[in-house]
Amino acid sequence: MKGLHLDGVCRQAGGRPLLENLELRVAEGECVALLGPSGCGKTTTLRVVAGLDPLSAGRVLLDGEDISGVDPALRRVGMVFQSYALYPHLSVADNLTLGLKIRGVPAAEREERLSRVLSLLRLQDLRPRRPAQLSGGQRQRVALGRALLRQPRIMLLDEPMSNLDAQLREELRPELRALLSGAGHPVLYVTHDQQEAMGLADRIAVLDQGRLQQVGDPRELHHNPANRFVASFLGRPAINLFPPLEGRQLAVRPEHLRVVSGGGLPARVVRAEWNGPQQVLWLDTAAGLLRLLWPASSAPPDTLRVDWDPEHTLAFEASGGDRLPRPDPAWNGDLIRFLQH
């Protein structure tokens, strides 16, 4: 079995579970994004795979081989840290080749590998510079170069974009995507930014409180979320959750709400957020605050009525948040009627 396999990985620290029974496969050449709020265990997962943190149960398998007990230095893992963790006192060239020097790679081979990576990342001119003399984007490339130079069997990236400004982030995304998919090893990419996850990854693994919530491609997660957490974590503006009723909670995405002339829910427009391509209207209704997408060019009215196609309704268990089968359209109508009073 080629690729990375996390087999029931658990990690506890200080009596607190950080990862619980994590089961995840990343194929060769595949990029899986670990997505979740801060403290959900994304970075811990990377550190366990790299061998920087010990696991308390389970196994990490790479190409079928159990590497759980292997020293991090011997795992051939390329990792890009959130802070980049470049050695501040060394030049770009020395930052990249320190590991090779330590491993006793001959100078000629070192030089050859170095110049190959430098030209791949367009860093040739920066060879003698110190990290402090580089821009954020250049530092990121150096950190990536250091990971690539190791000829890693697996690539781990911990929020490599979070130190860059929004515009640069968007510019670098395709470049990073090309670099990562070209190499043919499994890639684990940690982020809390869903745009980034959708733009970079083949599949997304959503984590919350150390538990894997759902793995799938972006579309699947968006249209078919496994539970309430995934439904509300993914998608901007966030999904509309209705008040729980009879042990169930219904939800509809803002883009699926439609304005109707009769019937539906009466709503008052409280706020309009204009964001360029469209506006997000905040509606005060009997079902609480709802978000609705509205064309950017036209001014919204003060009051309107909204409805939705029962086909787009998602239902969750009110207490645990687990996904329930799509409710009967009649039940959907009941909800609207209930809310109208």
Partner 1 sequence: MMRALLLAWSLGPLLWQLRTSFLLGEVLVGGGVPAGGSPWTLANYRLVLAGDPSLARVLLNSALLGGVTTALTLLLALPCAYGLHHLHGRPRAWISAGLVGAALFPTVLLFLSLLQLARWFGLANHLLALALPYTALSLPLAILLLRAAIADLPSELEDAARLDGLNALQRLRRIVAPLLAPAVASTGLLVFLASWNEYPIALTWLSRSDRLTLPAAMGRIASSSVFTIPYGPFAAATVLGSLPLLLLVLLFQRWIISGLTQGAVKG
Sign of CA dihedral 209, 210, 214, 217: positive
| Smallest distance, partner 1 to C-beta of residue 90, A | 8
Nearer to partner 1 (CB atom), residue 80 or residue 200: 80
**Is the omega angle on the peptide bond into residue 237 within 30 degrees of 0, that is, cis?**
yes
CB of 134 to partner 1, least distance (A): 16
Please state the closest distance from residue 158 (CB atom) to partner 1, in A.
Answer: 9
Rounded to the nearest whole angstrom, what is the least distance from the CB of residue 150 to partner 1 in the complex? Answer: 8
With respect to partner 1, which residue has the nearer C-beta, 74 or 330? 74
CA distance 217 to 222: 9
φ/ψ of 241, rounded to 5, equals -105, 130
Q: Tally Cβ neighbours within 10 Å of residue 112.
A: 12
Q: Which is nearer to partner 1, 42 or 75 (CB)?
A: 75
Tell me how far apart the alpha carbons of residues 226 and 67 are, in angstroms, rounded to a whole number: 31
Nearest approach in angstroms of CB 35 to partner 1 is 21
Shortest distance in whole angstroms from residue 82 CB to partner 1: 7
Contact status, residue 95 vs residue 142, Cβ threshold 8 Å: yes
Binding site for partner 1 (CB under 8 A): 47, 50, 52, 72-75, 77, 79, 81-83, 85-89, 98-99, 102-103, 146, 150
d(CA 203, CA 30) in angstroms, rounded, equals: 8
CB of 70 to partner 1, least distance (A): 12
Q: Please enumerate in sequence order all residues whose Cβ is within 8 A of that of 94, keeping only pairs 6 or more positions apart, or say none.
A: 87
Helix axes of 166-182 and 136-149: crossing angle, nearest 10 degrees: 20
Walk across the sheet containing 257-260 and list its strands.
Answer: 257-260, 303-308, 265-274, 278-285, 288-295
Q: How far is the CB of 42 from partner 1 (least distance, A)?
A: 15
Nearer to partner 1, 47 or 291 (CB): 47
Between 143 and 234, name the residue whose CB sits nearer to partner 1. 143
Which CB atom, from 158 or from 307, has the smaller least distance to partner 1?
Answer: 158
Pick between residue 72 and residue 137 the one whose CB is nearest to partner 1: 72
Identify which of residues 150 and 291 has a Cβ nearer to partner 1 in the complex.
Answer: 150
- Long-range Cβ pairs for the range 51-58 (8 Å, 24+): 51/75, 51/77, 53/11, 53/13, 54/11, 55/9, 55/10, 55/11, 55/19, 56/10, 56/11, 56/12, 57/8, 57/9, 57/10, 58/6, 58/7, 58/8, 58/9, 58/10, 58/21, 58/22
